[in-house]
Chains A and B, each alone.
Chain A
Amino acid sequence: MRKLRKLAGLASAFLGASASTAQASYGLLNMREGVTETSQSVYDLHMTIFLVCCAIGVVVFGAMLYSIVNHRKSKGAVAAQFHESTTMEILWTIVPIVILVSMAIPATSTLLAMEDSSDADMTIKVTGIQWKWKYDYVDGDGAGVSILSSLHPKLNEARQLGANADLSQFDDHYLLDVDNPLVIPTGKKVRFLITAADVIHSWWVPDLGWKKDAIPGFVNESWTKVDQPGVYRGQCAELCGKDHGFMPIVVIAKAPEDYAKWVAEQHGAAAAEAASADREWGKDELIAKGQQVYTTNCASCHQPTGQGLPGAFPALAGSAIATGDPAAHINTVLNGKPGTAMAAYGALLSDADIAAVISYERNSWGNDAGVVQPAAIKAAR
């Protein structure tokens, strides 16, 4: 008996704990309300259904508990023998149907609104790649900007440290920070075209109110309109292999003026990058840059030691390709190996980056096979 009361107490404590967060606007108990109209209506829908379920739970569990407390043999209860009632059966078929229909109506209208990505002000193509995101600004003033966004190097280092890492220095951003965030203007309807290069990923920023899978070979559409400038964080939400947990998303919403400034910077940087491909690079310069590119892009598979992971990712230390004819090496990195995890980096990295990383690979871990100049990459494309 006492135990049953305790159970009842426990159950109601849980229900209470969850219900009390109904009011909280932010917290680690409940869904985020987010910063878009969509996320707000999703949140409202979530709360409505949650509360309806709680109410049904109170009725059902209440009746059960009453029966458990009062209709027990130890209290001298004598069993009645009734075992059917058509009225009751009809009642508890009809009432839930009515409840469900009343849930379905707001759900339908929210869904229709979310799926309507027409009349967008600008379009960004999002590509999921093991294990980073690529953002291409398709139209609008950002057109031509292209960003490769990976787990922030500091975090990448920290997570390799295992139990020795001091995570407190990162506040709430451990695993949720990237090197190059996505930047969007506030007050604009942004359409996202979401796809993937290798396996399925899923693009999710909770504050925007939705996630959408990135399917290789197909393009999914979604949209958002953020009114508040701010930094919004999320993660890849579809298992995509070893480093699925290390594929964060950071969206920075900037007021239109700031956004325009940022776009100008990006265009400037891109021009400088392109120019750098045309000059001759020094060996040390190539290798230094190559190490950086390698750490962010390649080390997750081929490992910082260049030893790879047997059975999954080949070693580059001593590999025939990384020590042999540069043309084969360039070809592998530019075009990838279709059907394997090795992506075509030609579409992701600049000529200088690819030349650098190849040079780094050819001169590390005991490899000694000369450098490759950006011009050679340009020619091989």
Chain B
Amino acid sequence: MAHTSDHYYVPHGSHWPIVASVALFTGVIGAANWFNGHSAGQMILFLGLALVAFMMFGWFGTVINESLKGAYNEQVDRSFRQGMMWFIFSEVMFFAAFFGALFYARVLSVPWLLGGDLSTHEFLWSSFGENWPTNGPGNVGGDFESMGAWGIPAINTLLLLSSGVTITLSHWALKANDQAKTVLWLAATVALGATFLALQAYEYIHAYHELNLTLGSGIYGSTFFMLTGFHGFHVTIGTVMLIVITLRAAKGHFSPDHHFAFEGVAWYWHFVDVVWLGLFIFVYVL
């Protein structure tokens, strides 16, 4: 690695942000048209996503090159770390909205419909008598079975918890400058993440085909799929990021005292892990 600059690096004139904006714009136009039932929508959406991917390669590629050139001093590194932490905080709040919906439904709206709010129950939903899990007094989506906690979800919990361990082992190895072990443990983490995703996909198929549990299964189905779905989406992103840093670690991009990308991904992975614990407790067990 080149020697580190003692200046705060201020990049100039990047065209990646405008590419990114156009990519997002294209993507959402596609998605919106698709939702409205226009056949071109999907195509436009994919075009947007392709642009996003192109942009990510370009933008992150530039950043990686600059990093390897030694353009980033310690202060820049600190900016990245702090930026990543605040980004993760924003993600926490995004999940908070859906957890909020879950708690609201379980603690307030469903009990009200059940009779906690007397006149609501008596005048509108007098035949409703089913507590959580429920698809509501309208039996929306038809009868369904809820997802048990102690099958796949429990296994998934173990998988994610162990992936938290493996990534830490990898970090220790990196700090000890042991590249082989760093890569090995990272690869193990990727494998655990991928297995998690595969099991999750299986669980969804099971839910749709055998339990009649769908996004349309009232409030239970809504909260179940939104929470686990967004979580799964984050695991996917996390896994992709892990793959990237595995490759970079294999190329020797990281040094024991300079590896923001590794740490950023590790924090993100831990965040995904913690969200899962919340999910496991509040969506599956309780």
> Which A residues lie at the B interface, using CB under 8 A?
125, 193, 195, 217-219, 221
Contacts and interface: CB of A to CB of B under 8 A. Distances in A.
Nearest to A338: B138
A294 B50 CA distance: 52
Interface in B104-144: 112-113, 117, 119-120, 123-124
B contact patch SS: helix
Contacts of A217: 113, 120, 124
A195 B117 CA distance: 13
Given A195-B124, A217-B113, 17 more contacts: A125-B123, A193-B119, A193-B123, A195-B123, A217-B120, A217-B124, A218-B112, A218-B113, A218-B117, A218-B120, A218-B124, A219-B117, A219-B119, A219-B120, A219-B123, A219-B124, A221-B119
A193 B113 CA distance: 15
Residue in B113, B119, B123 with the greatest tally of chain A CB atoms within 10 Å? B119
Interface in B172-226: none
Contacts of B113: 217-218
Contacts, number: 19
Nearest to A215: B120
A40 to B, nearest CB: 27
Contacts of B120: 217-219
Pairs of residues from A and B, 3 with the lowest C-beta to C-beta distance, nearest first: A219-B119, A219-B120, A218-B120
A168 to B, nearest CB: 43
Nearest to B136: A217
A195 B124 CA distance: 9
B75 to A, nearest CB: 33
A143 to B, nearest CB: 14
Nearest to A123: B119
Nearest to B137: A217
A195 B112 CA distance: 14
Interface residues of B, number: 7
B118 to A, nearest CB: 9
A contact patch SS: strand
A218 B121 CA distance: 8
A219 B126 CA distance: 12
Nearest to A218: B120
A219 B117 CA distance: 8
Nearest to B125: A217
A62 to B, nearest CB: 44
A195 B120 CA distance: 9
Contacts of B117: 218-219
18 contacts: A125-B123, A193-B119, A193-B123, A195-B123, A195-B124, A217-B113, A217-B120, A217-B124, A218-B112, A218-B117, A218-B120, A218-B124, A219-B117, A219-B119, A219-B120, A219-B123, A219-B124, A221-B119
Contacts of A125: 123
A289 B240 CA distance: 67
Interface in B77-107: none
B151 to A, nearest CB: 34
Contacts of B124: 195, 217-219
A182 B25 CA distance: 52
Residue in B112, B113, B117, B120 with the greatest tally of chain A CB atoms within 10 Å? B120
Nearest to B112: A218
Contacts of A218: 112-113, 117, 120, 124
A150 B209 CA distance: 48
A336 to B, nearest CB: 14
A66 B124 CA distance: 62
A125 B123 CA distance: 9
A219 B125 CA distance: 10
A218 B116 CA distance: 11
A100 to B, nearest CB: 29
A115 to B, nearest CB: 13
A380 B234 CA distance: 51
Nearest to A136: B123
Nearest to A217: B124
Contacts of B123: 125, 193, 195, 219
A218 B117 CA distance: 9
A219 B123 CA distance: 8
Contacts of A195: 123-124
A32 B123 CA distance: 33
Contacts of A221: 119
A193 B124 CA distance: 11
Residue in B113, B123, B124 with the greatest tally of chain A CB atoms within 10 Å? B123
A144 to B, nearest CB: 15
Contacts of A193: 119, 123
A286 to B, nearest CB: 33
A262 B123 CA distance: 26
A36 to B, nearest CB: 21
Contacts of B119: 193, 219, 221
A221 B123 CA distance: 12
A193 B122 CA distance: 11
A35 to B, nearest CB: 25
A219 B120 CA distance: 5
Residue in A125, A195, A219 with the greatest tally of chain B CB atoms within 10 Å? A219
B237 to A, nearest CB: 33
A221 B117 CA distance: 10
A188 B227 CA distance: 50
A193 B123 CA distance: 9
A218 to B, nearest CB: 5
B139 to A, nearest CB: 13
B113 to A, nearest CB: 8
A218 B124 CA distance: 7
A221 B124 CA distance: 14
Nearest to B122: A219
B142 to A, nearest CB: 15
A218 B113 CA distance: 8
Nearest to A191: B119
A65 B215 CA distance: 62
A218 B111 CA distance: 12
Nearest to B121: A219
A366 B113 CA distance: 46
